[in-house]
């Protein structure tokens, strides 16, 4: 019997410093989209503040919850990808794009029971499950192995990060990295691809892995940039996340456009006629 093969779009090779270009393009998109882009950052920073307020005196939970929140960030940034796509197509990038992304994208599907319809929901659920698993693992690790109860960020810094004996912080980082690496490889272009093209979840994840395999050094540099900016956002009491989260979201769209040639897959939503520029003929 013939063996079923999974068709994957072509993945391009990029230069080591190309992620810096994505950040420059992201700032351009933020300026052009205006308040709606920054509203995403404000909403995500506010959500992080709620996590911080709830878990401040339960740092065994807070450490995992904040990092788990970042695991599902590729899903939360979906409408930022849509805004960048609209700008690329010279379409209005406004609140309507955001509402359509979250509420109406399914209207173009004829088969509501097909895998294509549920792929974005499936991917979000998988990331949420991974985030929940990390929250539980992180909480159990800190609770069981910390020399004293860890209740506040100060306790975590004093008895885990700066502890002179034991390897708890190193073990915590190693487990976090062990979880983060495959999640990054699975999601680096998966969500933009699912938004842009009629691809299955497996196609999107395998394409994302292929992008990492073909470009190991640029993808490692991109992961380091994401980590560095995220730590900067957390270290600023979440205030910098208002700028950082939309920047990384828009940049992820440009990463997808540079890394993947999706022309072999059908569009999920056809482009609208471009908005005429000033002085254009009627």
Under the banding of pLDDT at 50, 70 and 90, the label for residue 280 is very low
Strand partners, 11: 260
Task: Note the helical H segments in the chain.
Answer: 18-33, 35-55, 59-71, 73-76, 78-88, 95-99, 115-145, 153-156, 168-187, 190-196, 201-214, 216-235, 241-259
- Please give the average per-residue pLDDT across 19-26, as a whole number: 97
Q: What is the largest CA-CA distance in the chain?
A: 74
pLDDT reading at 196 higher than 80 = yes
Strand partners, 129: none
Each residue of 207-222: b (16+ CB within 10 Å) or e?
A: bbbbbbeebeebbebb
DSSP state, 267? B
- Please give the average per-residue pLDDT across 131-145, as a whole number: 79
DSSP state, 265? S
Residues 51 and 66: their CA atoms lie apart, in Å, by: 7
Instruction: Identify whether the C-beta of residue 254 lies closer than 8 Å to the C-beta of residue 21.
Output: yes
Element (H, E) at 261: strand 260-261
pLDDT reading at 125 higher than 90 = no
pLDDT reading at 80 higher than 60 = yes
Instruction: Identify whether the C-beta of residue 9 lies closer than 8 Å to the C-beta of residue 209.
Output: no
Under the banding of pLDDT at 50, 70 and 90, the label for residue 92 is very high
* pLDDT the model gives residue 104: 60
C-alpha distance across the termini of the chain, in Å: 58
Under the banding of pLDDT at 50, 70 and 90, the label for residue 175 is confident
pLDDT per position as a tens digit, 47-74: 878 877 776 666 666 666 666 666 667 7
- Reported pTM: 0.81
* pLDDT the model gives residue 101: 80
* pLDDT the model gives residue 279: 45
Q: How big is the chain by its Cα radius of gyration, in Å? A: 20
**Choice among 48-52, 115-119, 151-155, 218-222 with the minimum mean pLDDT:** 115-119
pLDDT per position as a tens digit, 237-251: 788 989 999 999 999
Q: Is 40 left (phi over 0), alpha (psi -120 to 50) or beta?
A: alpha
* pLDDT the model gives residue 249: 94
* pLDDT the model gives residue 282: 41
**Choice among 33-47, 80-94, 128-142 with the minimum mean pLDDT:** 128-142
Instruction: Identify whether the C-beta of residue 14 lies closer than 8 Å to the C-beta of residue 211.
Output: no
């Amino acid at each position: 019997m013939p063996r079923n093969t999974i068709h994957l779009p072509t993945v391009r090779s990029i230069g080591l410093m190309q992620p810096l270009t994505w950040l420059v393009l992201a700032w351009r998109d933020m300026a052009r989209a205006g308040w709606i882009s920054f509203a995403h950052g404000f909403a995500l920073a506010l959500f992080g503040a709620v996590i911080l307020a709830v878990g401040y005196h339960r740092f065994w939970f807070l450490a995992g919850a904040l990092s788990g929140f970042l695991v599902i960030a590729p899903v939360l940034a979906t409408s930022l990808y849509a805004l960048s796509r609209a700008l690329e197509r010279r379409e209005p990038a406004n609140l309507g794009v955001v509402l359509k992304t979250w509420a109406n994208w399914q209207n173009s599907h004829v088969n509501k029971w097909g895998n294509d319809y549920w792929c974005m929901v499936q991917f979000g659920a998988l990331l949420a499950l991974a985030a929940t698993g990390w929250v539980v693992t992180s909480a159990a690790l800190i609770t069981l192995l910390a020399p004293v109860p860890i209740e506040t960020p100060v306790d975590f810094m004093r008895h885990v990060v700066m502890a002179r004996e034991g390897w708890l912080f190193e073990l915590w980082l190693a487990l976090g990295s062990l979880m983060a690496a495959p999640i990054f490889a699975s999601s680096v272009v998966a969500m933009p691809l699912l938004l842009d093209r009629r691809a299955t979840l497996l196609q999107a994840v395998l394409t994302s892995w292929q992008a990492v395999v073909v470009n190991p050094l640029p993808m490692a540099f991109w992961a380091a940039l994401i980590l560095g900016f995220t730590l900067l956002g957390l270290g600023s009491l979440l205030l910098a996340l208002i700028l950082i989260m939309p920047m990384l979201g828009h940049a992820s769209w440009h990463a997808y456009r540079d890394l993947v040639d999706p022309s072999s897959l059908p569009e999920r939503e056809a482009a609208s006629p471009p908005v005429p520029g000033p002085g254009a003929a009627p």
